[in-house]
Amino acid sequence: DAGVIQSPRHEVTEMGQEVTLRCKPISGHDYLFWYRQTMMRGLELLIYFNNNVPIDDSGMPEDRFSAKMPNASFSTLKIQPSEPRDSAVYFCASSLVTSSYNEQFFGPGTRLTVL
Amino acid sequence: QKEVEQNSGPLSVPEGAIASLNCTYSDRVSQSFFWYRQYSGKSPELIMSIYSNGDKEDGRFTAQLNKASQYVSLLIRDSQPSDSATYLCAVNRDDKIIFGKGTRLHILP
């Protein structure tokens, strides 16, 4: 079975540019999560979806960040405009609907560098 | 108080010994507890989950949960160099998981 797929794996961009990260969850999973990981802050939840509907976006750092899930097999995280402090590894994860047993499967991550 | 707290380490353990990793959490209503392993440059992967007080064993790994003390631990028996990684403790809150910052474990050959 294919796991969670993310693209691109690496992204280097300049400050002010728009960045779009992509994720394909595991087929049949109802929950999709976007995380950001840095040395200083660890693994932070940005937003999560249930059945394509955003449930909690309280972790999104500011209005420059937005996320969409137009269908069950695709989600995007967009940063516009990007800033150097957005440099981090961004992970997408998915899980089944059993909320009490929320075992999440992570994609390989996108390493974002904003110059 | 942080929701999930772990000692950042590094924790150095001789090969073949038992590695003990600890975690405390603040939300008393949490019901699900997880240990993820993350190798450098890789994504986290689930290695253990536990939902009831007591011990749960899976191969060389044992997870221990004490809800009264809000404490979760992971024991790794017969530690191998391949166990060297960062171990993330995670606790559910509603439908999401809150992660600790992780403990770096280094197994000494």
User: Whole-angstrom Cα distance, residue B37 to residue B22?
Assistant: 14
User: Whole-angstrom Cα distance, residue A83 to residue A19?
Assistant: 10
Q: Hey, what are A35's tokens? A: 């995380």
Burial of A103 (0-12, 13-18, 19+ CB in 10 A): middle
pLDDT for A70 beyond 80: yes
Q: Which residues pair with B25 in a beta bridge?
A: B4
pLDDT at A100: 54
Q: Across the interface, do B44 and A103 touch by the CB < 8 Å criterion?
A: no
Q: How confident is the model at residue B106 (pLDDT cuts 50, 70, 90)?
A: very high
Q: Across the interface, do B31 and A100 touch by the CB < 8 Å criterion?
A: yes
CB of A58 closer than 8 Å to CB of A65: no
Mean pLDDT of B37-54: 94
- φ, ψ dihedrals at B20, nearest 5°: -120, 120
Q: Does A100 touch chain B (CB under 8 A)?
A: yes
Q: How confident is the model at residue A98 (pLDDT cuts 50, 70, 90)?
A: low
Among the partner-chain residues A50, A103, A108, the one whose CB lies closest to the CB of B34 is: A103
Place of tokens 């089944």: A96
Mean pLDDT of B21-29: 92
∠ CA B44-B12-B15, rounded to 5°: 90
Judging contacts by C-beta atoms under 8 Å, the chain A residues touching residue B94 are 99
Mean pLDDT of A52-67: 94
Q: How confident is the model at residue B17 (pLDDT cuts 50, 70, 90)?
A: very high
CB of A93 closer than 8 Å to CB of A81: no
pLDDT for B2 beyond 90: no
Question: How is A41-78 classified by DSSP, letter by letter?
Answer: TEEEEEEEEETTEEEE-TT--STTEEEEEEETTEEEEE
| Range with lowest mean pLDDT among A16-20, A79-83, A103-107, B11-15 | A103-107
Q: Across the interface, do A42 and B98 touch by the CB < 8 Å criterion?
A: no
pLDDT at B26: 92
Judging contacts by C-beta atoms under 8 Å, the chain B residues touching residue A48 are 95-96
